[in-house]
Amino acid sequence: MTDTPADDLKPSFRSDVTVELVKHTASDADVLFAARVSTLGEQSLDELQKDPERSKGLINYLMRDRHGSPFEHNSMTFFVSAPIFVFREFMRHRVGWSYNEESGRYRELQPVFYVPDADRKLVQEGRPGKYVFVEGTKEQQTLVGRAMEDSYRQSYEAYQEMLAAGVAREVARSVLPVGLYSSMYATCNARSLMHFLGLRTQHELAKVPSFPQREIEMVGEKMEAEWARLMPLTYAAFNANGRVAP
């Protein structure tokens, strides 16, 4: 049986992603504290903040020479709402990440679906490994919107029909597409986030270019903005050293 009121069964369509920093213990001082135990043993926070230029230099040195472990002594938890196909890519990042995602077995999935907005480039030109994305025509944009919305409506109706007939949620969900929104908490540290950003964002300062799908890049850009605010020296050193995780 469906537990959702009839009004909420109407599909809604989104083109954006949600990323909220819900919890964190992350600052540049966490990097300094971990790095300086090598030479100083235990230190107070005051000692760490005594010489900002030296702190900046130390973080840059660690990044440049890829001394990575001092960047692991911090934690950021993000709430993410995005299409399932983004989560599929996201969860390939195994190291330094923890995930908990909403369940299609234990709750009825809500009819919220992804439709790209007019800025999303629709056409891939070139061969695998060497291609660019270009704008679609007006006709292609209209087709994408219509085909996706029709298909989403149809699949959600089938899902609801099965639930109403008493079929278990875990069985009925098979008909739902990867454009359906899901949500998760994802927890990482600065080192694992840098590795993720190096692969899932495009940036003019990147020494090693990557070609991520735009929708996971949208999530990455929002995470990056939150992290840059929390750890400005580490963020600056990441950019200055070609956006390669240490």
Ligand X SMILES: Cc1cc2nc3c(=O)[nH]c(=O)nc-3n(C[C@H](O)[C@H](O)[C@H](O)COP(=O)(O)OP(=O)(O)OC[C@H]3O[C@@H](n4cnc5c(N)ncnc54)[C@H](O)[C@@H]3O)c2cc1C
Question: Residues annotated as binding site for dUMP?
Answer: 89-92, 101-105, 173, 200
Tell me the helix, strand and coil percentages in the chain, rounded to 5: 45, 20, 35
Is residue 95 at the binding interface for ligand X, with CB under 6 A as the rule? yes
Total of chain residues touching ligand X, rule CB under 6 A: 10
Closest CB 210 distance from ligand X, rounded Å: 5
- For residues 195 and 222, which CB has a smaller minimum distance to ligand X in the complex? 195
Closest CB 31 distance from ligand X, rounded Å: 19
E strand or H helix at 185: strand 181-188
Is residue 177 at the binding interface for ligand X, with CB under 6 A as the rule? no
Name which of 179, 214, 181, 186 is nearest 200 in CA terms.
214
DSSP type of residue 180: B
| Catalytic-role residue among 169, 200, 214, 243 | 200
Is residue 92 at the binding interface for ligand X, with CB under 6 A as the rule? yes
Q: Please, are residues 81 and 146 in contact by the beta-carbon 8 Å criterion?
A: no
SS3 14: strand
Sheet holding 181-188, edge to edge: 18-25, 75-83, 181-188, 97-101
Question: Within 188-217, which residues bind ligand X (CB under 6 A)?
Answer: 195, 199-200, 210-212
Question: Residues annotated as binding site for FAD?
Answer: 69, 92-94, 101, 189-191, 195
Among 24, 93, 120, 153, binds ligand X (CB under 6 A): 93
Look up 200 and say whether it is catalytic: yes
The first and second tokens of residue 93, run together, are 């990042």
- For residues 141 and 202, which CB has a smaller minimum distance to ligand X in the complex? 202
Of the candidate spans 2-10, 24-32, 89-97, 165-173, the one that interacts with ligand X by CB under 6 A turns out to be: 89-97
- For residues 71 and 159, which CB has a smaller minimum distance to ligand X in the complex? 71
- For residues 6 and 95, which CB has a smaller minimum distance to ligand X in the complex? 95
List helix spans (H) across the chain. Answer: 28-40, 45-48, 52-64, 84-90, 138-164, 169-172, 190-200, 214-230, 232-240
Give the Cα separation of 82 and 75 in Å (integer).
Answer: 22
Is residue 94 at the binding interface for ligand X, with CB under 6 A as the rule? yes
Which chain residues interact with ligand X by CB under 6 A?
92-95, 195, 199-200, 210-212
Where in the sequence numbering do the catalytic residues fall? Answer: 200
